[in-house]
Structure formats: C-alpha cells, structure tokens
Amino acid sequence: MRSSLRPPVDREWSRLAGKASAMTFAAASPNRLVIIPVLGVTQIFAWGSSYYLPAVLAKPIAADTGWPLTWVVGGLSLGLLMAALISPRVGLAIERHGGRWVLPLSAAAIGIGQIGLAIASNLTLYVIAWLIIGVGMGAGLYDAAFATLGRLYGRDARSAITALTLFGGFASTVCWPLSALLASQLGWRGACLVYATIQLAVALPSYLIFVPRVAPARPARPDAAHAAQAPIAAKPSWILLTVLAVALTLAATISSLVSVHLLTILRANGVTLAVAVALGALVGPAQVAARTVEMAIARRHHPIGTKIASVSFVALGLSALWAGLPLIPIALACYGAGIGLESIARGTLPLALFGATGYATLMGRLAVPSLLAQAAAPWIGAILLERAGASGTLAVLASIALFNVALTGGLVWLVHRRRAIAPSVPG
C-alpha cells in the first residue's frame, strides 16, 4: 500500500516544487520596464560624455589651451584604442558574472576621466584622461550593454536590444546641445565636471541599484553550448565568424568617418555651414525612425534581414551623395536609417546565429576590430579629404558600402548553407 501511494505523492511534490521554482524565476526575472529605461538613459550620457564629446568641445579646448586640434580630437581615437584592448576581458567578465559590476566600472572610469580632462594642465595629462575614458567606453557602451542584456534575457534579448538602441539614438540629439550650453555657461572644463557628476552621482548608483545580479555562468565547451542554443547546425564556422566581423567592422568604419567629417564633406560641395548643420541633423531622426520600425516588425523576420536592410540603406545614401544627386536630404535620411539599423543588427545578429551561451564573450571579441577601425577612421578620413577631396572621399565610402552589401550577401549564403536561419525567437 505504501509503495503504491509513493508515485502520486512524488509527482505532487515535483509539481509543487516546479511551480515554486517557476514563481521564484518569475520574481527574479529582471523587469524590462525598469532595466531598459535605466540602461537607455545611462547610454545617452555614456555616449555624450565620451564618443560625442569632441564634436562640440574640441575647438574650445584647442582655442583655450593652444594644444594642436589634431591631438585634441585624437584623444578620442586613443580612448577607442584602449576600449578595443579591454573589450575581450569585458565580454568575458559579463559572460561569467553579468553586467552588475562591469557597468558601474564604466561610469566610474568615464567620470574620473572627465575630471582628468577638467584639470588637465598639459597635453600629456589630457591624453591620460582620455585613456581612462577609453576604459569606460570599452566597459559601458553598446557592446557591453548588449552583452548585459544577453546575459539577463538569453535568446529573448532581441527586443530589449532594439529598445535600448532607441534611447541611444538620442545621444547626440541630447548631448550636443547640452555640451554647447555647458561650454558657453561654464567653459569646457566646467562642462567636463558636469558630465563627471552625471556619471559618478547618477549613472554609477543607477547601475548598482537597478542592474540585477545573475548566477555565475557554468563553464561549458563552446561547441556543446553553441550546438545546444544556436540555430547553427554543428560547430560554429570560423568563416562565418570572420565574415560577420568584417561586415560589422566596415559598417563601424563608415559610421565613424562620416560622423566626424560629414559637415566638411557637405561644405566642400558648396553648402553653407548653417545648411550643412541642418542637413546633418537629419541623420539622428532617421536612425530613431528606422529603429522604431524595426522594433514594430522584428518578430516577422530574422535579424539577418535587419543587416541586409542596414547595408543597403547606407550604400544607397552614400552612393547618392557621391553621384551629386540634388536630393541630399533623402540621401542622408537613407544613410541615417542604415546606420540606425546597423546598431540593432550588431547586437541581435550574433545572438541569433550563435545563441546566448558565450554571447557576451563573443560581443567582446567582435568589438575589438570595430573599435580599432573607429579609432583610425577619423585620421583616415582627414587624409582622404586632403588628398582626394570630398568627391574622392565619398567615392571611397560608397565603394566600401557597396562591398559591404556584397559581403552581407555572402553572409546570407553562408547562413543558408549551414541552415542557420530559423524563425526568430519572440521577445
């Protein structure tokens, strides 16, 4: 009798235990309505305090200190170089422990670096401050934020990544006017101190309070992890990884070069400064609009479709500018839409192709060539403008963009060949 009653009792205990476990998981599951706005707002000021800072403050700094403008702007390139060097370790740290401690490190490094900029009395201290900011960029910009979301939500992180890029699209829109206002009222050193305060007093505690802890990742063999969670049939292909890395790096190169030299290119074509600024302002809203559309239709297509649309829009926009077509606003809107979609593809495509296990580590590795390219792109652009002029520079950019279209076509072929495309995971 006792033995005949045991199985139902065991089943009942298992049912209750499973229900309790599910309730515990639901209670512990990070609330997207909290996590996304917190990471979104901190991303705006992380970008504004680092990547977008020289666009407004470089000339006031050079005028006040007498330092060469090339070196003033070059501080950002050195910071990006530092970010590239630490990115693999950042990805590995997030993979093992989540972003709860890595993201606060980013805020602390950017804040301390901003203080360093504010008190820099010579060019050497200024460069050191940018190297510290570079640590913050490597530990806290998109790649680290995407890796954190991947660690929190796994294969369901796609919609969270897309939503985060909507916030990031407002970084220049918010921080360029804010930087100009602060510089006019407090001077460039005062502006740096305000950004330091935002990082140390707002972003850092926000990360500590709202980014949840996650269980340490269990070590697993890469092949087994990928085979279990990714839609790739067998072992991840080094050819597929290489093509993906090159496609992402080319897109980052174009974006970095154009963001620095767009106004110069437009003015070389006979556009006044006021008109060039107004035209350049179209890129930001186009990015946000494209990301909004992507968020609305993301469930209906695989992330590789986002990548195809991204490289196509960028190539179309740059080719139209190079051809000298009179519809400059439409060309810039196409370019902006493509760059906006690229940010989403950068975060969602590796997740869809290779799965959640190892995603943070992979993002750290993929960030290295992109950050190196972004560090070199402004200098390369300056050389191109000097030797080939605006038209020649646009020709080179359009050629790179068209090559990236072909490369993405090759990526699609590789994915199909390995039967990696499956219906996208909702979320």
Q: Look at residues 319, 353, 367 and name the one whose alpha carbon lies nearest to residue 145.
A: 367
Burial of 285 (0-12, 13-18, 19+ CB in 10 A): middle
- Alpha helices, DSSP H only, in 98-221? 102-119, 123-140, 142-153, 158-168, 171-197, 204-210
Cα 294 to Cα 301: distance, rounded to the nearest angstrom: 10
Q: What is the pLDDT of residue 216?
A: 63
What 8-state DSSP symbol labels residue 418?
A: T
Q: Look at residues 221, 223, 261 and name the one whose alpha carbon lies nearest to residue 377.
A: 261
Q: Look at residues 132, 126, 75, 84 and name the one whose alpha carbon lies nearest to residue 106.
A: 132
Q: What is the pLDDT of residue 236?
A: 57
Q: What is the pLDDT of residue 6?
A: 46
CATH for 33-212, options being 2.40.110.10, 1.20.1250.20, 1.25.40.340, 3.30.300.20: 1.20.1250.20
Instruction: Write out residues in the chain with pLDDT < 50, as ranges.
Output: 1-14, 16-28, 219-234, 420, 422-427
Q: What is the pLDDT of residue 334?
A: 94
Q: Where are the beta strands (DSSP E) in 336-420?
A: none
Neighbours of 184 (CB within 10 A): 11
Cα 155 to Cα 211: distance, rounded to the nearest angstrom: 18
List, in order, residues 6 or more apart from 189 with CB less than 8 Å away.
117, 118, 119
Dihedrals phi, psi of 302, to nearest 5 degrees: -75, 150
The model's pTM is: 0.80
Superfamily of domain 223-427: MFS general substrate transporter like domains (1.20.1250.20)
Q: What is the pLDDT of residue 86?
A: 94
Cα 243 to Cα 236: distance, rounded to the nearest angstrom: 12
Q: Look at residues 267, 405, 252 and name the one whose alpha carbon lies nearest to residue 328.
A: 267
Dihedral angle sign, alpha carbons of residues 297, 320, 246, 48: negative
Please answer whether residues 144 and 136 qualify as being in contact, where contact means their C-beta atoms are separated by less than 8 angstroms: no
Cα 227 to Cα 239: distance, rounded to the nearest angstrom: 17
Cα 87 to Cα 76: distance, rounded to the nearest angstrom: 16
Calculate the alpha carbon distances from 188 to 30, 78, 85, 93, 114 in Å: 39, 20, 28, 34, 11
Q: Look at residues 105, 361, 80 and name the one whose alpha carbon lies nearest to residue 236.
A: 361
In the chain, what is the straight-line distance between the N-terminal and C-terminal CA atoms, in Å? 49
What type of residue is 195? Y
57 Rama class: left (phi>0) / alpha (psi -120 to 50) / beta? alpha
Burial of 213 (0-12, 13-18, 19+ CB in 10 A): exposed
Instruction: Tell me which residue has tokens 């476990």.
Output: 21
Burial of 224 (0-12, 13-18, 19+ CB in 10 A): exposed
Please answer whether residues 342 and 314 qualify as being in contact, where contact means their C-beta atoms are separated by less than 8 angstroms: yes
**Residues carrying CATH 1.20.1250.20, the chain:** 33-212, 223-427
Cα 373 to Cα 380: distance, rounded to the nearest angstrom: 10
Cα 50 to Cα 48: distance, rounded to the nearest angstrom: 6
- Range 348-381 burial, b when 16+ CB lie within 10 A, else e: bbbbbbbbbbbbbbbbbbbbbbbbbbbbbbbebb
Which tokens belong to 192?
């740096």
Q: What is the pLDDT of residue 218?
A: 55
